[in-house]
Amino acid sequence: MTESVTRASDEYEALAPLLPDDFSNPDDDLDTVREKFAEVHGHDPGDGVVVEDASSGLGVWVRPDSRDHRGTIFFVHGGGFVTSNAMSYAFYGAA
């Protein structure tokens, strides 16, 4: 009989050594979880990018910091708004 082994993705295997040992602790309260995830999310979207909260609260506006831009991206956060907010994911919309 062949034994089946479940393995994490290559991406997780690359990320895991960078996280603190207590990163995933089921006893953490919500504020602690958000503080830990802030280290993973919330990257600067880069120079020349403006990010503004959308009035809906469900996304952010991401646009170049110039008057002659050809478009705007409305990036909608796809998560459950538990560990972080839409603004912390804005760098994805700026990529």
Residue range 73-91: mean pLDDT, rounded: 70
Integer Cα distance of 13 and 19 in angstroms: 11
Q: Which three-class secondary structure state does DSSP give residue 36?
A: helix
Dump pLDDT digits (tens) for 20-38.
888 888 899 988 888 888 7
Q: What is the pTM of this model?
A: 0.54
* Predicted pLDDT of residue 27: 93
* The pLDDT of residue 49 is above 90: no
* Predicted pLDDT of residue 79: 60
What is the CB-side half-sphere exposure of residue 62 using CA atoms within 13 A?
21
Mean pLDDT, the chain, as a whole number? Answer: 78
Residue range 39-59: mean pLDDT, rounded: 79
- CA 4 to chain centroid, in Å, comes to 32
Give the residue among 43, 39, 38, 40 at the shortest CA–CA distance from 11: 40
* Predicted pLDDT of residue 45: 83
* Predicted pLDDT of residue 30: 85
